[in-house]
Amino acid sequence: MSQRKVVILSAARTPIGSFCGALSTLKAHDLGSVVIKEALNRAKLDPSAVNEVIMGQALSAGQGQNPARQASVNAGVPHSVPAYSINMLCGSGLKSVGVGAASILSGASDFVVAGGQESMSQAQHSMLLRTGTKMGAATMTDTMLSDGLTDAFLNCHMGITAENVAKQWSITREEQDQMALNSQHKTEAAQKAGHFDQELVAVSVPVPRGEPKLVLVDEYPKHGASIEAMTKLRPAFDKVIKLFL
């Protein structure tokens, strides 16, 4: 059995952007490169010492060849360092960390950059026109849904699976409202106390005909949530179960 031990030298993340919000003009690998560069700086590790870069990403349609490599190279990691993506949907980033740890334990690598990158705002709409359209309308596919949020076997939206859980365990709308409110209040308190400050790295977003805008904090959740406001939210998926976003 290997006697090697795996340690985390540093960690960083971008602010969490809202859908079509402040970070929406940047592709996932743009965000990834910012974080990789910052993580290496925090670890005081020369990019040339990295043996491989592993980035989880579920939505890669139309994002260009090997988004993980784009993030790696743009972060200053040498072209000679291999980089690859892992797609295990919501578990992609965590799986990347696990694969990186296994690589170190096996002796294949000494230093691995592992994480995840994603932008739902950049998920493209697609249409298969390779053989042309013989007759009738052609339908666009939202890759955010088809590649990320819809079960490939049951053609079921992930929101409906949450509805099924609520139904199976008789979780009421009132219980959901209260749990969501508690979660938002805890997050708001943590943000105001600065608990996330050390893990965040600012992202510079280009602005047409103007100075780049620095995004420094998470866009969600909105502060000041109340139970009164939550009870007025319309159901997101099933009008009977009343699960909401």
What pLDDT does residue 3 have?
A: 83
Largest CA distance in the chain: 64
Residues in the chain predicted with pLDDT less than 50, given as ranges, are none
Check if the beta carbon of residue 19 is closer than 8 Å to that of residue 123.
no
What pLDDT does residue 132 have?
A: 86
Q: How far is CA 158 from the centre of its chain?
A: 16
What pLDDT does residue 185 have?
A: 97
- Give 2's Cβ-side CA count (13 Å radius): 11
**CA distance readout (Å), 209 to 20, 22, 110:** 20, 16, 44
**E strands along 183-238, which residues?**
203-205, 213-215
Check if the beta carbon of residue 165 is closer than 8 Å to that of residue 243.
no
For tokens 């090997």, the residue is 66
pTM of the model: 0.92
- Give 140's Cβ-side CA count (13 Å radius): 6
Structural domains of the chain in order of their starting residue, each with its CATH number: 28-122 (3.40.47.10), 150-231 (no CATH)
What pLDDT does residue 57 have?
A: 99
DSSP H or E segment with residue 115: strand 112-116
Select from 78, 48, 82 the least CA-distant residue to 68: 82
Q: Which tokens sit at 144?
A: 């955010």
Q: How many residues does the chain have?
A: 245
